[in-house]
Structure 1
Amino acid sequence: MVGKNIAVFDIGKTNKKFTVFDEELNVAYTTSTKIEEKKTNGIICDDVDAINSWVLSVLDSALSRFNIGSIVFTTFGATVVLLDAEDKLAFPVVSYNQEIEPEVRQKFFEEYGSPEELYVRTGTPPLGQLLNVGLQLYWIKNEFPEVYEKTKTILFLPEYFSFILSGGKATEITSVGCHTYLYDIVDKDWSIVAKGLDVPEKSPPFYNVWDCIGKYKGVKVAAGIHDSNASLVPFLLAEKKEFVLASTGTWCVFMYPSAEYSPAKEDVYRDILYYIDVYGRPIKSARFKCGYEFEYYINITRKRFNVDPLKIPFDEKLAVKIIKEQTAYVVPTLTPGTGQFPCSKGRIVKEKEFFRDPATAYHVLNLSLAAQTYFALSLLTRGKKGLRILVQGGFAKNPHYLRYLATLMPYNTIVYYKYTEATSLGAALVGKAALEDKSLKDLDVELPQLESIEVKRLSIDDKYVEEYLESFKELCEKNSI
């Protein structure tokens, strides 16, 4: 009997989640764990051994309870696994949070072209740390040449976990196209960086994300998919009008599928980039570390007042007052080189007012993050009005953020979803396509989970909103690193 259920692994940087979906794409079972990064010989690494152990444990348990027909992995991007001739790790799996010497970055651009030149071809801006996989491979090749020499296979993280289960090796476009410098969008082929680093020779053939590349205990294993692209899949199938998907978590990623590929040089240093979707199309996007900054300031507030800020209710009068009086600001960025204000120094402006009480601190924080979102979306869409902004993920549960965002963007419609697990749902759709041997486009599905709820804006004169946004922007540009 062919299994009808779909098993999805959603591997985040810290949180790892496993979900079993039934044939109607309802959640039948879910569990999660936390596995942190580790250091190996001074290098920050993803603990793939611990992840593999957890994967096998929860999967084998689920196979004994559910009639599973396909398995899909979706993971964070910017991460590759190097395998030797015996398919063992040739090197620890380096985290994109690893820092490298500035000289390495400089030599990379001297060899392969300026950031502006590469941006025009690959849609990839120069990101901090090792968030560009091409730069990571260049660093490994030059710092550890013997490792790169013995590397016979390069797999992106989703495909590595799929390989561990199935023995099948695959390359797929959503991971290759995740700000790596490895894919030339103009030529629709491997880039000059990829060719210079022998990536095509070390990579398996390309597969669709939904293609079955092998089996685990008789169950189909799909190639795999990058998590931001997985979160986009349900909306590509369900939305009929022009939209921007705000996929919110540690990173807030804003994806605008209707935009043309037109990389502007002024966007190179403002975290405007192009992902590649499951059909091979460039998706104009903007990002900043919204969830990371949220958690950082939440922890400060929690320690200062000894309360849980997440339990503070939304106060409409206070919310309006903070905008009108410009009470305080939380200015980006805690991660230099990222976001729309990459040179801005992350800080609290008017600390005394910010720490007046926990409610003020929490409202100011969410207003400031909504303001960052406003500037990200404005750059992404070039100020276009009449769009639907679809908020998914953690911030879809945050009324403070949502109400402020709707207030800052009165000419667009802000909606959120009670169902916040679009990444897992998107991966489940990939699993359904694998199960039925179909393309995603050919699936006959209804997605009642995606019932949207429109967010109401605050009752406040537009003049105050415009003045707040202008002062926020000035603060970001004034005290740069």
Structure 2
Amino acid sequence: MNVVAIFDIGKTNKKVFLFNENYQIVWEKSVILAETVDEDGFPCENILELSKWVADRLTELKELKDYILKAINFSTYGASFVYVDEQGKALTPLYNYLKPYPETLLENFYPKYKGKKKFAVKTASPVLGSLNSGMQIYRFKEEKPDLFAKVKYCLHLPQYLSSILTQQYFTDITSIGCHTGLWNFKKMKYHKWVTNEGIIDKLPPIQNVEETLKIEDGISVGIGLHDSSSALIPYTINFTEPFVLLSTGTWSISINPFNDTPLTSDELKKDCLCFLQNKKIPVKAARLFAGNTHEVQSKRISEHFGLPNDFYKEITYNKDIIADLRITNFKESSFNTDSYIEKCPFENRNLEGFKNHEIAYHQLILDIIAQQVLSTRLVIDNSPVKKVFVDGGFSKNSIFMNLLAQAFPEMEVYAASMAQASALGAALAIHESWNPKPIQNDLIDLKFYKH
């Protein structure tokens, strides 16, 4: 059967999937690769190991007797640059976006471009240090000018992996448009600092993510996408009525493809950003560290009550517990403040006050939902949205889903499930170049939650 191979590269798990022409996964493999360290001893992705793993899997795929490999694409985490020389060889480690950023460089940079606040609004990027991948290039240029002079191209990770197969170099709009600090959203072109600082020539031409390049055996290879943008593609293909996607994992990201109003500095302060869809369409998004909060606080509950770490998987929604908690512990109206969004109230709750783990866990989700509602409303405001789709970890959490539906009585709230959203998006992006069949409209399973 004809298949497309998608390399879906997360920070922890590296996966490869084969999708058939109906976009069902017919083969998969995953690995966790050991990290290495950069020259400062900071942990980072081992780019040589990763490249080797991709090459080895490709050899394996070509030898599979039951499948005819028609196309390949990549979906990877963002905010990560690979710097290559004339031969396409990586010149540095793949620096980690969590690496602390030198204050002196920030103090040197922002005043040249009207200060942090104006720069953040123009580039739709909260000031996040190394998480603004454009600032990684600036740091490299300032700290290692001699090595930087040898750089032919700065490639985001998906485009680097694609270039290993094609020896061709491109920039993808979904990677540039995601809190990189590189793009001027008002003028819809690179921010002038990219030219002023002598970086523009090291960014390869922008290519449409639907375009592919032919390699040996007639295989079509895509240029790759940033994983958050890729995960949105199945939804925009399947649903035409306005919706918000709440993508949940370590971060809960509320994404509204139907809201392209310019970001305000107030929204930026509350962790809103814009990213660009594959047609250069801005999408407003708001981030909340909810999955991380859930992990840390549920561990606190498990230790307090002497339970296994995943105790919560056994707990289902109990409306009586919620009704009691709303009377005793929780006044939603008093939480509608800016500071509330930054910190989950559960962090300050004394676990001695809860009779059992079930009540404590319901309280944790109530507190997370109060934050989540404030975060999601930031992108819903002034847009025609009537549906909320939740995917990822929280979509399987009945307490979270029921409380979210109650918090948005004017919306239809659905738990959405599909196999591997970002991988599926990367496959759909290059549909035209390998798949003769029309795209079906049942790629996503929905479960409706009544409020």
Shared topology, TM-score over 0.5? yes
**Corresponding residue of 2:27:** 29
How far is 1:67 from its partner?
Answer: 0.9
**Residue 451 (structure 1) aligned to one of 442, 445, 448:** 445
CA contact (8 A) 2:209 2:430 kept: no
1:30-429 residue pairs with structure 2 within 5 A? 30-35=28-33, 37-41=35-39, 42-65=41-64, 66-127=67-128, 129-215=129-215, 218-304=218-304, 305-307=306-308, 308-316=310-318, 317-326=320-329, 344=343, 348-353=347-352, 356-382=355-381, 387-419=386-418, 421-429=420-428
CA contact (8 A) 1:403 1:455 kept: yes
Q: Report the number of matched residues.
A: 441
SS at match of 2:30: strand
C-alpha offsets along residues 326-349 of structure 1, whole Å, 9 cap, x if unaligned?
2799xx9xxxxxx98676488612
How far is 1:390 from its partner?
Answer: 0.8
Q: Which has the higher contact order (CA 8 A, sep 6+)?
A: 2
SS at match of 2:105: helix
Whole-Å Cα distance in 2 between the matches of residues 347 and 148 of structure 1? 46
Whole-Å Cα distance in 1 between the matches of residues 367 and 344 of structure 2? 14
How far is 1:73 from its partner?
Answer: 0.4
How far is 1:223 from its partner?
Answer: 0.6
Whole-Å Cα distance in 2 between the matches of residues 275 and 341 of structure 1? 25
Could you say if the C-alpha distance between residues 147 and 111 of structure 1 is closer, same or farther in structure 2, counting changes exceeding 3 Å? farther
SS at match of 1:278: coil
SS at match of 1:10: strand
SS at match of 2:399: helix
SS at match of 2:362: helix
How far is 1:149 from its partner?
Answer: 2.0
C-alpha offsets along residues 299-357 of structure 1, whole Å, 9 cap, x if unaligned?
3334442322242221412233223322799xx9xxxxxx9867648861222247653
Could you say if the C-alpha distance between residues 192 and 60 of structure 1 is closer, same or farther in structure 2, counting changes exceeding 3 Å? same
Whole-Å Cα distance in 2 between the matches of residues 189 and 404 of structure 1? 41
CA contact (8 A) 1:328 1:354 kept: no
Q: Which amino acid aligns with 1:379?
A: L
Could you say if the C-alpha distance between residues 354 and 273 of structure 1 is closer, same or farther in structure 2, counting changes exceeding 3 Å? farther
SS at match of 2:193: helix
CA contact (8 A) 2:388 2:414 kept: yes
SS at match of 1:417: strand
SS at match of 1:95: coil
How far is 1:194 from its partner?
Answer: 1.9
How far is 1:70 from its partner?
Answer: 0.6
Between the two proteins, what is the percent identity of the paired residues?
27
SS at match of 2:363: helix
SS at match of 1:130: helix
Whole-Å Cα distance in 2 between the matches of residues 291 and 323 of structure 1? 23
How far is 1:7 from its partner?
Answer: 0.8
Whole-Å Cα distance in 1 between the matches of residues 297 and 359 of structure 2? 13
C-alpha offsets along residues 336-383 of structure 1, whole Å, 9 cap, x if unaligned?
xxx986764886122224765332333222222222210111112227
Whole-Å Cα distance in 2 between the matches of residues 386 and 257 of structure 1? 10
Could you say if the C-alpha distance between residues 147 and 372 of structure 1 is closer, same or farther in structure 2, counting changes exceeding 3 Å? farther
SS at match of 2:131: coil
SS at match of 2:388: strand
CA contact (8 A) 1:181 1:193 kept: no
SS at match of 1:63: helix
**Runs of at least 5 residues in structure 2 that lack an aligned partner in the other structure:** none
Whole-Å Cα distance in 2 between the matches of residues 78 and 342 of structure 1? 24
Whole-Å Cα distance in 2 between the matches of residues 209 and 384 of structure 1? 27
CA contact (8 A) 2:346 2:364 kept: no
CA contact (8 A) 1:84 1:153 kept: yes
Whole-Å Cα distance in 1 between the matches of residues 287 and 101 of structure 2? 22
SS at match of 2:206: coil
SS at match of 1:275: strand
CA contact (8 A) 2:344 2:367 kept: no
**Runs of at least 5 residues in structure 1 that lack an aligned partner in the other structure:** 333-338, 438-442, 458-481
Could you say if the C-alpha distance between residues 340 and 90 of structure 1 is closer, same or farther in structure 2, counting changes exceeding 3 Å? farther
Q: Which moved more, 1:355-364 or 1:50-59?
A: 355-364
Whole-Å Cα distance in 1 between the matches of residues 269 and 80 of structure 2? 22
Q: TM-score, normalised to structure 2's length?
A: 0.90
Q: Which amino acid aligns with 1:20?
A: L
SS at match of 1:250: coil
Q: TM-score, normalised to structure 1's length?
A: 0.85
Whole-Å Cα distance in 1 between the matches of residues 353 and 407 of structure 2? 20
**Corresponding residue of 1:473:** none
Could you say if the C-alpha distance between residues 341 and 322 of structure 1 is closer, same or farther in structure 2, counting changes exceeding 3 Å? closer
Q: Which amino acid aligns with 1:449?
A: L
Whole-Å Cα distance in 1 between the matches of residues 237 and 339 of structure 2? 29
**Corresponding residue of 1:472:** none
How far is 1:75 from its partner?
Answer: 0.7
SS at match of 1:247: strand
Whole-Å Cα distance in 1 between the matches of residues 197 and 288 of structure 2? 29
Whole-Å Cα distance in 2 between the matches of residues 196 and 37 of structure 1? 35
How far is 1:25 from its partner?
Answer: 0.9
Whole-Å Cα distance in 1 between the matches of residues 355 and 330 of structure 2? 10
CA contact (8 A) 1:328 1:349 kept: no
